[in-house]
Amino acid sequence: MAKPDFQITQIEIYKLFIPLKKPFIISLGTIHNAENIIVVILTNQGINGFGECSPFTTINGENQSTCFLVGQLIAKILKGKNPLDIQGNMDMMDELIYGNSSIKSAFDIAMHDIAAQSAGLPLYQFLGGKKDKILATDYTISIDEPQKMAADALKIKNAGFPVIKVKLGKGKEIDIKRIKAIRKAIGKKLPLRIDANQGWDVNTAIEILEALKNDNIQYCEEPIPRWDFLNLKKVKKKSSIPIMADESCCDHHDAKTLIQLGACDMFNLKLGKSSGLLKGGKIIALAEKEKMAMQVGGFMESKIAMTANAHLALSSKYILHCDFDTPLMFAEDPVSGGIVYKEKGIIEVPESAGLGAWLEHDRLAKMEKVVI
């Protein structure tokens, strides 16, 4: 048990920059590098916690520079506080500044790492989870010409991944051609997930989903703009393909609204949208009451935050889908420990106390940092 005088003594904030193996293209833009933030929280009990965020300007309105600056403001108010009081510390962060869910998630993960270590439990057990299911990630194809996407799909199929996620959202005719080309290349058996990243209007979404209804599509993520969530129910009603809310479902307040509207079939939970595991758990609780399926996904996180995602995915039987592929797109893996990627997309989650993922001192020493 942690002593009652458990305190945060120092917080280190680092800029993590990793090139991707190749550009990753979605309807919201092209990504060339992972430009993330690592937060390390040190305590007077000798237990240190690691957290990470991968800010996304067009989704949470943050980038590496804003997170680096806001992170310093957060660090100043958290220094001297008890890291086990995660709810109280989150309340202080929210009182300090509105939004900024990405950088808040990095602090949240680091505090959960400390709390789980203090309890002597792997993070998934600390969150109330257990290893009662197999976690397997999809692999994502970014937007390109139909034949290039078809060739990429064939490589993913041959690599043994259980499902392929396809980025769309650039127009009715071309998006339909993309899926038809992929299906011609890989056949109908391997399931597809499609993600428009808000790229269609309501009518276009309905027409595309109707055209793809026989193409073994598991679900469609965020077909229309997030601000048009009142019309998401219309798309859901007209579509035989299940609809998953992503950008329109950030925190538990959004989740409650979408449930009340009957706007979607599933949620895509991302720590960078929810402000971390604490509020992510509140989304899960709401979804469980509705027996609603969920996916845990991410942005361009390394294995630090992706390991937190995997722990979270073990916390609820209603989390059925995992989208944990981005570390596989990196030109290098800077992380020690963490999840292990096995054959057929299977994810192995650490059993050590806490998060079980960290960056070594020599790797941290190469990164730009600030110490509070």
| DSSP codes joined into one string, 52-121 | EE---HHHHS--HHHHHHHHHHHHHHHTTS-TT-HHHHHHHHHHH-S--HHHHHHHHHHHHHHHHHHHTS
Mean pLDDT confidence for 125-130: 98
Judge whether 91 counts as a catalytic residue.
no
CATH of the domain at 277: 3.20.20.120
**Per-residue tokens: 239:** 């579509």
Query: Do 365 and 336 belong to one domain?
Result: no
Tell me whether residue 242 is in a domain.
Answer: yes
Structure confidence at residue 321 (pLDDT): 98
Q: Is-contact 109 308, C-beta < 8 A?
A: yes
Tell me whether residue 272 is in a domain.
Answer: yes
- CA-based diameter of the chain, in Å? 63
Query: Do 236 and 276 belong to one domain?
Result: yes
Mean pLDDT confidence for 255-274: 98
Catalytic residue among 167, 236, 273, 303: 167
Q: How many domains does the chain have?
A: 2
pLDDT band at 158 (very low <50, low <70, confident <90, very high): very high
Judge whether 167 counts as a catalytic residue.
yes
Judge whether 221 counts as a catalytic residue.
yes
Catalytic residue among 138, 152, 221, 247: 221
Structure confidence at residue 4 (pLDDT): 65
Catalytic residue among 165, 236, 270, 273: 270
Is 1's pLDDT higher than 60? Answer: no
Catalytic residue among 108, 246, 254, 325: 246
Judge whether 228 counts as a catalytic residue.
no
Nearest residue to 197 (alpha-carbon basis) of 22, 35, 31, 18: 31
The angle subtended at Cα 301 by Cα 135 and Cα 34, nearest 5°, is: 145
Tell me whether residue 314 is in a domain.
Answer: yes
CATH of the domain at 53: 3.30.390.10
Judge whether 270 counts as a catalytic residue.
yes
Inter-axis angle of helices 202-211 and 172-186, nearest 10: 20
Is 201's pLDDT higher than 90? Answer: yes
Query: Do 27 and 135 belong to one domain?
Result: no
Catalytic residue among 12, 52, 62, 195: 195
What pTM value is reported for the model? Answer: 0.96
Query: Do 101 and 171 belong to one domain?
Result: no
pLDDT band at 270 (very low <50, low <70, confident <90, very high): very high
Which range of residues forms the domain containing residue 84?
Answer: 8-120+360-371
Query: Do 147 and 198 belong to one domain?
Result: yes
Query: Do 13 and 116 belong to one domain?
Result: yes
Q: Which residue has the tokens 């600056």?
A: 69
Nearest residue to 338 (alpha-carbon basis) of 362, 360, 305: 305
